[in-house]
Amino acid sequence: MAAVAQTLAPEHVTPHDLVTYSRCPYEMELIRTAHASIVSGQPVGARTPPGVVPMRHSPLFTPPNLGVIVNDGRLDVAPDDVLVYEDSGEDDLPILFPEHQVRLDERFRPPSSTLIDRGYRLSGRPDLIVERRGGELVPVEYKSTHLFVGYHESHGRMFDIIQAIAECRLVHAAFGRRPSHGIVLYGDVANDGEHEGWVQVAYGDAEEHWLRAAIDQVLRDDVRAPVPSERTCTSCGPNRDGVCRYAAVPPGDQHHTSRATYLPTVPWVRR
Ligand code: SF4
Protein backbone atom coordinates (compact mmCIF):
# COMPACT_ATOMS: atom_id res chain seq x y z
CA MET A 1 0.00 0.00 0.00
CA ALA A 2 1.26 3.46 -0.89
CA ALA A 3 2.23 5.70 1.99
CA VAL A 4 -0.14 8.56 2.64
CA ALA A 5 1.46 11.82 1.55
CA GLN A 6 -1.11 14.08 3.06
CA THR A 7 -1.22 15.75 6.42
CA LEU A 8 -3.98 15.02 8.83
CA ALA A 9 -4.43 16.98 12.02
CA PRO A 10 -4.12 15.67 14.65
CA GLU A 11 -1.43 13.17 13.78
CA HIS A 12 -2.65 9.93 12.21
CA VAL A 13 -0.86 6.63 11.81
CA THR A 14 -0.91 4.49 8.67
CA PRO A 15 -0.68 0.70 8.48
CA HIS A 16 2.76 1.21 6.98
CA ASP A 17 3.77 3.33 10.00
CA LEU A 18 2.82 0.47 12.30
CA VAL A 19 4.86 -1.96 10.25
CA THR A 20 7.87 0.33 10.23
CA TYR A 21 7.54 1.10 13.94
CA SER A 22 7.57 -2.64 14.64
CA ARG A 23 10.97 -2.77 12.90
CA CYS A 24 12.50 0.42 14.19
CA PRO A 25 10.61 3.47 15.57
CA TYR A 26 13.34 5.81 14.36
CA GLU A 27 12.95 4.52 10.82
CA MET A 28 9.24 5.34 11.01
CA GLU A 29 10.00 8.80 12.35
CA LEU A 30 12.54 9.53 9.61
CA ILE A 31 10.13 8.43 6.88
CA ARG A 32 7.28 10.47 8.35
CA THR A 33 9.37 13.61 8.69
CA ALA A 34 10.52 13.18 5.10
CA HIS A 35 6.90 13.11 3.95
CA ALA A 36 6.07 16.09 6.15
CA SER A 37 8.99 18.01 4.68
CA ILE A 38 7.73 17.40 1.15
CA VAL A 39 4.15 18.35 2.00
CA SER A 40 5.15 21.53 3.86
CA GLY A 41 8.05 22.50 1.61
CA GLN A 42 10.10 23.03 4.76
CA PRO A 43 12.61 20.68 6.36
CA VAL A 44 10.87 19.02 9.32
CA GLY A 45 13.03 17.65 12.13
CA ALA A 46 12.54 14.28 13.76
CA ARG A 47 11.14 14.29 17.30
CA THR A 48 13.77 11.76 18.35
CA PRO A 49 16.05 13.53 20.87
CA PRO A 50 19.72 13.98 20.01
CA GLY A 51 21.92 11.45 21.76
CA VAL A 52 19.08 8.94 22.17
CA VAL A 53 20.15 5.52 23.40
CA PRO A 54 19.36 2.84 20.78
CA MET A 55 17.17 -0.07 21.83
CA ARG A 56 17.62 -3.78 21.26
CA HIS A 57 13.99 -4.36 20.25
CA SER A 58 11.09 -2.28 19.06
CA PRO A 59 8.76 -1.37 21.94
CA LEU A 60 5.71 -2.46 19.93
CA PHE A 61 4.15 -5.55 21.41
CA THR A 62 3.26 -8.31 18.98
CA PRO A 63 -0.27 -8.60 17.58
CA PRO A 64 -2.48 -11.64 18.22
CA ASN A 65 -1.66 -14.31 15.65
CA LEU A 66 -3.78 -17.32 16.58
CA GLY A 67 -6.20 -16.67 13.74
CA VAL A 68 -3.60 -16.76 10.95
CA ILE A 69 -4.12 -19.32 8.17
CA VAL A 70 -1.41 -19.84 5.55
CA ASN A 71 -2.56 -21.02 2.11
CA ASP A 72 -0.19 -22.27 -0.58
CA GLY A 73 -1.37 -21.57 -4.14
CA ARG A 74 -3.68 -19.14 -5.86
CA LEU A 75 -6.37 -17.05 -4.25
CA ASP A 76 -9.62 -18.12 -5.88
CA VAL A 77 -12.08 -15.43 -6.90
CA ALA A 78 -15.68 -16.63 -6.68
CA PRO A 79 -18.13 -15.72 -9.46
CA ASP A 80 -20.08 -13.54 -7.04
CA ASP A 81 -17.08 -11.75 -5.51
CA VAL A 82 -16.97 -8.06 -6.43
CA LEU A 83 -14.02 -5.69 -6.36
CA VAL A 84 -15.33 -2.53 -4.63
CA TYR A 85 -12.07 -0.67 -4.00
CA GLU A 86 -8.64 -0.46 -5.58
CA ASP A 87 -5.71 1.73 -4.57
CA SER A 88 -5.33 3.92 -7.65
CA GLY A 89 -1.83 4.90 -6.51
CA GLU A 90 -0.53 1.37 -7.10
CA ASP A 91 0.24 0.41 -10.68
CA ASP A 92 1.52 -3.14 -10.13
CA LEU A 93 -1.54 -4.75 -8.63
CA PRO A 94 -2.62 -8.08 -10.13
CA ILE A 95 -5.80 -8.17 -12.21
CA LEU A 96 -7.86 -10.72 -10.32
CA PHE A 97 -11.34 -9.71 -11.39
CA PRO A 98 -13.01 -9.75 -14.80
CA GLU A 99 -14.56 -6.43 -15.75
CA HIS A 100 -18.09 -7.49 -14.88
CA GLN A 101 -16.96 -8.17 -11.27
CA VAL A 102 -15.52 -4.69 -10.76
CA ARG A 103 -17.86 -2.16 -9.15
CA LEU A 104 -15.66 0.42 -7.47
CA ASP A 105 -17.38 2.41 -4.75
CA GLU A 106 -17.67 6.00 -5.98
CA ARG A 107 -17.11 7.39 -2.49
CA PHE A 108 -13.52 6.19 -2.48
CA ARG A 109 -12.30 7.17 -5.88
CA PRO A 110 -9.43 9.71 -6.10
CA PRO A 111 -8.90 12.21 -4.61
CA SER A 112 -10.87 10.63 -1.73
CA SER A 113 -9.37 7.17 -1.89
CA THR A 114 -7.59 7.34 1.46
CA LEU A 115 -9.65 5.60 4.12
CA ILE A 116 -9.67 7.53 7.39
CA ASP A 117 -10.67 6.49 10.87
CA ARG A 118 -10.60 9.68 12.90
CA GLY A 119 -11.54 7.88 16.10
CA TYR A 120 -8.56 5.53 15.90
CA ARG A 121 -6.37 8.18 14.25
CA LEU A 122 -5.63 5.73 11.49
CA SER A 123 -5.54 6.33 7.74
CA GLY A 124 -4.38 4.49 4.67
CA ARG A 125 -5.25 2.67 1.48
CA PRO A 126 -5.56 -1.09 1.21
CA ASP A 127 -4.55 -2.44 -2.19
CA LEU A 128 -7.94 -4.03 -2.83
CA ILE A 129 -11.26 -4.50 -1.05
CA VAL A 130 -13.43 -7.42 -2.08
CA GLU A 131 -17.12 -7.76 -1.31
CA ARG A 132 -18.17 -11.37 -0.93
CA ARG A 133 -21.58 -12.94 -1.24
CA GLY A 134 -23.66 -11.79 1.73
CA GLY A 135 -21.88 -8.44 1.87
CA GLU A 136 -18.75 -9.39 3.78
CA LEU A 137 -15.83 -7.10 2.98
CA VAL A 138 -12.23 -8.33 2.83
CA PRO A 139 -9.17 -6.05 2.45
CA VAL A 140 -6.40 -7.57 0.35
CA GLU A 141 -2.76 -6.49 0.59
CA TYR A 142 -0.61 -7.55 -2.35
CA LYS A 143 3.09 -8.47 -2.15
CA SER A 144 5.08 -9.37 -5.24
CA THR A 145 7.39 -11.62 -3.21
CA HIS A 146 6.78 -15.32 -2.71
CA LEU A 147 4.83 -16.84 0.13
CA PHE A 148 7.66 -18.12 2.28
CA VAL A 149 10.11 -15.23 2.10
CA GLY A 150 10.87 -14.28 5.70
CA TYR A 151 8.47 -16.88 6.97
CA HIS A 152 10.90 -18.30 9.49
CA GLU A 153 12.41 -15.00 10.56
CA SER A 154 11.35 -13.68 13.91
CA HIS A 155 9.55 -10.67 12.44
CA GLY A 156 8.85 -11.88 8.92
CA ARG A 157 5.19 -12.66 9.06
CA MET A 158 4.37 -10.22 11.83
CA PHE A 159 4.55 -7.34 9.37
CA ASP A 160 1.76 -8.84 7.33
CA ILE A 161 -0.40 -9.49 10.36
CA ILE A 162 -0.04 -5.88 11.46
CA GLN A 163 -0.94 -4.54 8.05
CA ALA A 164 -3.95 -6.83 7.62
CA ILE A 165 -5.34 -5.92 11.05
CA ALA A 166 -4.98 -2.18 10.41
CA GLU A 167 -6.62 -2.47 6.99
CA CYS A 168 -9.57 -4.38 8.45
CA ARG A 169 -10.14 -1.49 10.84
CA LEU A 170 -10.00 1.03 7.99
CA VAL A 171 -12.60 -0.97 6.06
CA HIS A 172 -14.81 -1.11 9.14
CA ALA A 173 -14.56 2.65 9.60
CA ALA A 174 -15.13 3.51 5.94
CA PHE A 175 -17.85 1.03 5.03
CA GLY A 176 -19.50 0.50 8.42
CA ARG A 177 -19.08 -3.28 8.29
CA ARG A 178 -16.40 -5.09 10.28
CA PRO A 179 -14.44 -7.65 8.24
CA SER A 180 -13.91 -11.03 9.90
CA HIS A 181 -10.45 -11.23 8.32
CA GLY A 182 -7.97 -9.59 5.97
CA ILE A 183 -5.82 -11.24 3.30
CA VAL A 184 -2.19 -10.81 2.32
CA LEU A 185 -1.62 -12.09 -1.20
CA TYR A 186 1.80 -13.17 -2.52
CA GLY A 187 2.31 -13.09 -6.27
CA ASP A 188 5.91 -14.36 -6.43
CA VAL A 189 6.58 -12.25 -9.51
CA ALA A 190 10.29 -13.14 -9.60
CA ASN A 191 9.50 -16.86 -9.92
CA ASP A 192 6.57 -16.76 -12.34
CA GLY A 193 4.16 -17.49 -9.54
CA GLU A 194 5.85 -20.72 -8.47
CA HIS A 195 5.37 -19.88 -4.80
CA GLU A 196 2.12 -17.97 -4.92
CA GLY A 197 0.09 -18.03 -1.78
CA TRP A 198 -2.01 -16.07 0.61
CA VAL A 199 -2.40 -15.60 4.32
CA GLN A 200 -5.72 -15.03 6.04
CA VAL A 201 -5.50 -12.92 9.20
CA ALA A 202 -8.45 -13.01 11.60
CA TYR A 203 -9.90 -9.72 12.77
CA GLY A 204 -11.92 -9.79 15.97
CA ASP A 205 -12.07 -8.08 19.34
CA ALA A 206 -8.53 -9.12 20.35
CA GLU A 207 -7.01 -7.75 17.15
CA GLU A 208 -9.01 -4.54 17.41
CA HIS A 209 -7.90 -3.98 21.00
CA TRP A 210 -4.30 -4.62 20.02
CA LEU A 211 -4.58 -2.12 17.18
CA ARG A 212 -6.03 0.62 19.33
CA ALA A 213 -3.29 0.18 21.94
CA ALA A 214 -0.56 0.01 19.29
CA ILE A 215 -1.66 3.28 17.65
CA ASP A 216 -1.82 4.94 21.05
CA GLN A 217 1.68 3.72 21.80
CA VAL A 218 3.07 5.10 18.53
CA LEU A 219 1.42 8.48 18.95
CA ARG A 220 2.58 8.84 22.56
CA ASP A 221 6.16 7.85 21.83
CA ASP A 222 8.19 11.07 21.84
CA VAL A 223 11.49 9.20 21.57
CA ARG A 224 11.01 6.86 18.60
CA ALA A 225 14.39 5.38 19.26
CA PRO A 226 16.52 3.50 16.75
CA VAL A 227 16.68 -0.29 16.88
CA PRO A 228 19.82 -1.09 14.93
CA SER A 229 20.15 -4.62 13.63
CA GLU A 230 21.74 -5.96 10.51
CA ARG A 231 18.47 -7.41 9.30
CA THR A 232 16.40 -4.22 9.52
CA CYS A 233 19.13 -1.72 8.70
CA THR A 234 19.95 -3.69 5.57
CA SER A 235 16.58 -2.90 4.02
CA CYS A 236 16.05 0.54 5.58
CA GLY A 237 15.33 3.48 3.25
CA PRO A 238 16.83 6.20 5.49
CA ASN A 239 19.95 4.06 5.79
CA ARG A 240 20.15 3.83 2.03
CA ASP A 241 20.23 7.61 1.96
CA GLY A 242 22.84 7.71 4.71
CA VAL A 243 20.75 9.71 7.17
CA CYS A 244 20.85 7.35 10.16
CA ARG A 245 23.89 7.54 12.38
CA TYR A 246 22.82 4.44 14.32
CA ALA A 247 22.78 1.97 11.42
CA ALA A 248 24.16 -1.48 12.16
CA VAL A 249 25.43 -1.76 8.58
CA PRO A 250 26.73 1.09 6.39
CA PRO A 251 24.53 2.14 3.46
CA GLY A 252 26.86 0.50 0.97
CA ASP A 253 26.29 -2.88 2.61
CA GLN A 254 22.58 -2.90 1.92
CA HIS A 255 21.65 -6.01 0.00
CA HIS A 256 18.02 -5.29 -0.71
CA THR A 257 16.31 -2.47 -2.49
CA SER A 258 14.17 -0.24 -0.34
CA ARG A 259 10.45 -0.66 -0.13
CA ALA A 260 8.39 0.97 -2.83
CA THR A 261 6.63 3.16 -0.30
CA TYR A 262 9.83 5.00 0.52
CA LEU A 263 10.33 8.37 -1.12
CA PRO A 264 13.53 8.59 -3.16
CA THR A 265 14.33 12.29 -2.78
CA VAL A 266 13.58 13.97 0.51
CA PRO A 267 14.97 17.00 2.37
CA TRP A 268 16.34 15.18 5.38
CA VAL A 269 16.87 16.90 8.67
CA ARG A 270 19.31 15.15 10.97
CA ARG A 271 19.20 15.31 14.75
S1 SF4 B 1 19.35 2.32 9.72
FE2 SF4 B 1 18.70 0.86 11.29
S3 SF4 B 1 18.65 2.05 13.21
FE4 SF4 B 1 18.69 3.52 11.51
S5 SF4 B 1 16.56 4.04 11.10
FE6 SF4 B 1 17.11 2.34 9.74
S7 SF4 B 1 16.52 0.46 10.82
FE8 SF4 B 1 16.58 2.13 12.34
The reply to whether ligand 1 has any atom less than 6 angstroms from the CB of 268 is no
Are 201 and 72 part of one and the same domain? Answer: yes
Average model confidence (pLDDT) across the chain? 85
Closest atom of ligand 1 to 232 CA is 7
Please report the pLDDT score of residue 195 as a whole number: 79
To test the ligand 1 pocket, which listed residue (52, 229, 233) has its Cβ within 8 A of the most ligand atoms? 233
Instruction: Quote the pLDDT of residue 193.
Output: 75
178 and 119 assigned to the same domain: yes
**Alpha carbon of 59 to ligand 1 centroid (Å):** 14
Average pLDDT over residues 12-33: 95
For 8-19, write each residue's pLDDT tens digit. 456 899 999 999
Same-domain check for residues 74 and 189: yes
Q: Which one of 148, 181, 205 terminates a domain?
A: 205
Whether residue 225 is found in the same domain as residue 105: no
Query: Is residue 211 in a domain?
Result: no
- CA 90 to ligand 1 centroid distance, Å: 26
Q: Is residue 38 part of a domain?
A: yes
Asked whether residue 210 is domain-assigned, the answer is no
178 and 99 housed in the same domain = yes
Average pLDDT over residues 119-144: 94
Higher pLDDT, 4 or 112: 112
- 244 pocket-lining for ligand 1 (C-beta < 6 Å): yes
Tell me: do 79 and 164 sit in the same domain. Answer: yes
Same domain, 174 and 86: yes
Ligand 1 pocket, residue 46 CB under 6 Å: no
Q: Are strands 181-186 and 137-143 parallel, antiparallel or unpaired?
A: parallel
| pLDDT tens for each residue of 185-221 | 988 777 777 778 889 999 999 999 999 999 999 999 9
In whole angstroms, give the CA distance from residue 22 to residue 43.
Answer: 25
Environment class of 179 (CB within 10 Å of its CB; exposed 0-12, middle 13-18, buried 19+)? buried
Residue 124: CA count within 13 A, CB half-sphere: 32
What is the mean pLDDT of the segment spanning 163-185?
A: 96
User: Is 216 among the domain residues?
Assistant: no
Closest ligand 1 atom to the C-alpha of 30?
A: 5
What was the pLDDT predicted at 261? 39
What pLDDT was estimated at residue 4? 47
Same domain for 179 and 83, yes or no, is yes
pLDDT of residue 90: 82
pLDDT the model gives residue 93: 85
pLDDT at 183: 95
Answer yes or no: is pLDDT of 225 > 50. yes
Check whether residue 50 and residue 72 sit in a common domain.
no
Q: In the listed set 205, 230, 260, which residue is the last one of a domain according to the structure?
A: 205
Same domain, yes or no: 189 and 75: yes
| CA of residue 54 to ligand 1 center, whole Å | 10
For 232-271, b/e burial (b = at least 16 CB within 10 A) is bbbbbbbbbbebbebbbbebeebeeebeebbeeebebbee
Question: Which domain range does residue 107 map to?
Answer: 68-205
pLDDT the model gives residue 13: 96
Confidence of residue 152 (pLDDT cuts 50, 70, 90): low
Please give the residue that has the higher pLDDT: either 131 or 93. 131
Q: Identify the weakest region by mean pLDDT among 103-107, 153-157, 209-213.
A: 153-157
193 and 90 in a single domain? The answer is yes
Residue 151: predicted pLDDT: 56
Q: Judge whether 184 lies within some domain.
A: yes
Structurally, the chain folds into a number of domains equal to: 2
Q: Which atom of ligand 1 is nearest to the CA of 239?
A: 1
pLDDT bin (cut points 50, 70, 90) of residue 271 is very low
Same domain for 85 and 34?
no
What mean pLDDT is predicted for residues 70-87?
91
For residue 213, tell me if it sits in a domain. Answer: no
Tell which atom from ligand 1 comes closest to the C-alpha of 228: 3
Nearest by Cα to 70 from 171, 192, 164:
164
